[in-house]
Amino acid sequence: MDEIYEKIKTSLKDRPNQLAELNAWLFVTINTARAMVDNTNKEDIQVIGEAELCRTSAELQRWFDSIQGRYGREGFSYRHSPIYFYLCSLTAFFEDMPLCDENREFIKQAGGYDRYLLYEI
């Protein structure tokens, strides 16, 4: 996961408007959600596992929106950060497509990763 993280981190330094690769989008979505939960209430980190239940990218976007609504407000110290807004904009736009078992396994791995793009780009 370190290699994937570094690759995505490097690609985000150029500030693309959208992510074309599904795994990059999945990672940014899960990593940003995990950063919100971890920063707001570490005891709730298990909610990240709910992402594995999503069957489509649109469903995952709705899940992210619910995480943002619960954890991206008061108590989240990065809620006014331009990098946070940028990462959220990347999660908002992706083609609706089914997520296969391999994608859900990737989501599970990304959900357990504890380095955050929010703090490093």
Count of structural domains within the chain:
1
Question: Cα dist. 44→29, 30, 83, 117 in Å?
Answer: 17, 14, 23, 20
pLDDT in tens, the chain (121 residues): 999 999 999 999 999 999 999 999 999 999 999 999 999 999 999 999 999 999 999 999 999 999 999 999 888 999 999 999 999 999 998 999 999 999 999 999 999 999 999 999 9
Residue 104's domain comprises 2-120
Predicted TM-score of the model (pTM):
0.95
